[in-house]
Amino acid sequence: AVYRKRSCLAVAYERRKRMTEEVLVRVTGIQSSPEEAQTVEEPISIVTPGRFYIENGERYIQYEEVYEEAEMSAVNTVKLHPEILEVNKSGAINVRMVFQENRKNMSMYGTPFGEIEMGIATTSYTMKETDEKIDLNVKYALEMNGEHAADCELKLEIMAKGSSFTL
């Protein structure tokens, strides 16, 4: 008999129903600019296929985001952690965004037209998990080139493929 040492994380995942590798991702974003503080903006929401995987004990979701008006796309890789959410975009947009409650993180937002300094001041971050679904919710203030640009909310819902989202 061959004995293979497994991490506690791997054992824990085997004990409960595992989310499948193929997933559906619903991304919902709401932005309000400082000038429109009294206006409630209509959320922008997309549902796209994605992939859930574990690498070096860390959990990831990967999906493609298509910018239809510009006929370009970016691959988003989301690193899941109960206290920190990390989103890496590569393609038409290149950026590493880190959301950590009560912290401000800076990065460069790369576009086909050049780079912009971006600040993300996260005011709240929650992650709720069940056997079949992961819900993430982030509220943050967005800065571009040192100026407050918008107050934002980002929601990610990840479900096993074949599941359906409630509207």
DSSP string, 61-84: EEEEEEEGGGTEEEEEEEEE-SSE
Q: What is the pLDDT at residue 120? A: 98
Does 17 score more than 50 pLDDT?
Answer: no
pLDDT > 90 fraction of the chain, expressed in percent and rounded = 59
Asked if the model's pLDDT at residue 1 lies above 50, the reply is no
Give SS3 for 8. Answer: helix
- Predicted pLDDT at 68: 72
Alpha-carbon distance values, 27 to 30, 42, 49, 99 (Å): 10, 14, 11, 16
DSSP string, 117-134: EEEEEEEEEEEEE-SSEE
What is the amino acid identity at position 141? Answer: A
Residue 40 CB: number of other CB atoms within 10 A? 8
The residue among 57 and 167 whose pLDDT is bigger is 57
Contact 51, 61 (CB under 8 A): yes
The Cα–Cα gap between 85 and 163 comes to 24
* C-alpha separations of 28 from 34, 55, 74, 108, 157 in Å: 20, 26, 17, 23, 9
Write down the pLDDT at residue 117.
97
Residue 65 structure tokens = 């985001």
Count the neighbouring beta carbons within 10 Å of the beta carbon of residue 99. Answer: 22
**Is pLDDT of 37 > 60?**
no
Q: Does the pLDDT at position 109 exceed 90?
A: yes
3-class DSSP state for residue 15? helix
Cα 130 from Cα 132, distance rounded (Å): 5
Instruction: Write down the mean pLDDT value for the chain.
Output: 84
Q: What per-residue confidence (pLDDT) applies to 130?
A: 87
Higher pLDDT residue, 147 or 68?
147
- Tens-place pLDDT, residues 117-158: 999 999 999 999 888 899 999 999 999 999 999 999 999 999
